[in-house]
Each structure stands twice: as C-alpha cells, then as structure tokens.
Amino acid sequence: MDVLSDVITAMRAGRPHSSRRLKHAPWGMRFPASEGAGFHVVLEGTAWLIPPGDDAAPVRLGVGDVVFLAHGRGHALADDPGTPLEDVVPGPDGTWPTPADEPPTDPDAPTTRLLCGAYQLNRSRAHPLLTHLPDAVHLPARLGAHPALRSAIDLLGAELRTPQPGSDAIVPALLDTLLLYILRAWWLEDSHAPSRPGEATGAGTPATGPGEATGWAAALADPPVSTALDALHADPAHPWTVEELGTLAGLSRAAFSRRFTTLLGQPPLTYLTWWRMTTAGHLLRTDDAPLRVIAQRTGYTSEFAFAKAFKREFGVAPGRYRGGVG
C-alpha cells in the first residue's frame, strides 16, 4: 500500500461511527477528549468551532466546511461562541449518541445540519504523519475544490439520512474513505502553502534549503522522497540500503539521505526500522501468523533477531504483546 493508506491501516482500532444532527439556535455541544479522531461537516446553516486550548480562537464554519480533529482533544461546536455548552456523553463503546431531531422552541430560529463522525485509533504507535497535524484541520468549502471529498460526504450523508440494505457495511467503508480524502486534501493544501512570505512550495519543489517547507506534507509532495517512502512501505522486508533508495529517488546516496532527513527529521533507515516495528505490532494484534512469518514479513532473517529488536522497541516480547501486554 501507499504511505497514506498504510498509516490509517496501522492505526485503525474498532469501527468508525457517524451521525447527522439537526440543531436549532441556540445550541452548543462540548465533545470530550478521546483516543480517537473526529470530524464535522456543515451541511446546512453555520456553526462555530471552539478548538481545544484556552488560546485558540473560535472558527466560523459555513455550508460545506469540513473540520478534522486529529488528536482527540476536547472541542466544542455552537451556533455562537457565547452559547452555553452541553456535554456530549459517549456510549460505553466510545461512540457518540445520535439524538432525535427536536422541534425548535422558536420556529424562526436559525437551523444547522451537521454530519459528525469519529475514528478509533491506536495511538501507542502513532504515525508522525498524523501526530504532525494541527489540532484542527479546517477545509473551507470552495467551488471546485476537492471534488472527491465532496462526493464522499454526499454519499455518507445519503446513507445516514435514508439507511438501506447494506448500509451497515457501506457506512464504515465510506468513513474510512472520507478520512483518506480529508488527509489527502490537507496534504495537497499544506504542501502548496507558502513556506515563508512571498515564497510558495509546490509539488516537486525541492525542500532542502533554509526556511523551506519540511514535514510530511512536503515529503509526500516531493517526488524523490515520496518515491522512496512508497518503496519502503510497499516492501518493508526488503534489505534496503540508503544507496539503493537514493538510486530509486534519482539522487546520490548523500543527497538523498540529506533530503529525506531534512524533510522528515530522521534518516531513511531509522524510519524504516520504526515502520517495520510498527507493522510488526499491527500484525501481532491482527494476524495469527507464526512469529517466524511476521519476522520475515518485517525484514528479519531469524525469529530470535526479530524478538530481540521487538522487545527493545516495545519493552515486551512479541508473544506477550500478541497476548495483550504492552
């Protein structure tokens, strides 16, 4: 798989969930902190996002705006920043309740229709692509922007509005699709954002000079580094060398290593080891393959070498980790 798909696969835990909400002013909802990530889409009317943090300014949301809360920190939505907030209490399984539509106390009160959802994520091996996201990713609605994301929102909204046979399988699949489209939209916007006043860094622009863009958005938009990342993720078991990765990227060994390290903050083989161990942890919890097979699939020629590396990384032996320890 590609990097973005791998990140979601490795961190996913449990089924995502979502609901449509119709609110009549005045209204305010406070969402508690959680291990997962959440999103909100304004389908009708307006809303204010009150981000986590005492210093964060409220953000006005209009029709079609999408906001993604990557880190599970508490946040709120309201018709106005000054409206009192009511706590949204999650169910025993961590899902948010779907309230029934209530008639407005004032028939002339402004209404807001929201599409809300949440993902359960394993943060014990959080991928830096997600950890480097801001607290709130705001994707304003713009004519012609991110048509695939808009289509996924429309499909999800239709399934939630009028469930049909198969909806129980379709909705989780659409939620996973929506998450990928949100992350892709952020990556495309962030990789093209100016890295300093008067200078824009776009796809394919080298990002190795002082003051230029760094981080995962820049890395995914950089052809040499993204080519190497795709190769590492496609075959983590391969005995990669920096020279071989540099050849794939079309750069010398030294130039590639410098470029990769500058963008991602760690050398190529350090990232490869981290990703191998992250993949191993995911396989141990989701796959019943023998340890020797998992060792081979993550680049280790012997079960002993794999177990030693795994314990050094996770603090427990692979067998105990598979049993739920750690």
Residue by residue, DSSP assigns 104-146 as -SSTTS-EEEEEEEEE-B-GGG--HHHHTS-S-EEE---TTS-
Q: How far apart are CA 97 and CA 32, in angstroms?
A: 13
pLDDT digits (tens, 9 = 90+) for 99-108: 666 677 788 8
Average pLDDT, the chain: 87
**Domains of the chain from N-terminus onward:** 3-191 (2.60.120.280), 199-265 (no CATH), 270-322 (1.10.10.60)
For 294-312, the DSSP string reads: HHHHTT-SSHHHHHHHHHH
Global pTM value: 0.81
Kindly indicate the confidence band of residue 143, based on its pLDDT and cuts at 50, 70 and 90.
confident
pLDDT digits (tens, 9 = 90+) for 216-273: 888 988 999 999 999 999 999 999 999 999 999 999 999 999 999 999 999 999 999 9
pLDDT digits (tens, 9 = 90+) for 285-306: 889 999 999 999 999 999 999 9
Residue 314 tokens read as: 């996770």
Q: What is the pLDDT of residue 1?
A: 67
Task: Tell me the C-alpha to C-alpha distance, in Å, between residue 24 and each of 73, 203, 309.
Answer: 25, 43, 56
Q: How far apart are CA 81 and CA 59, in angstroms?
A: 9
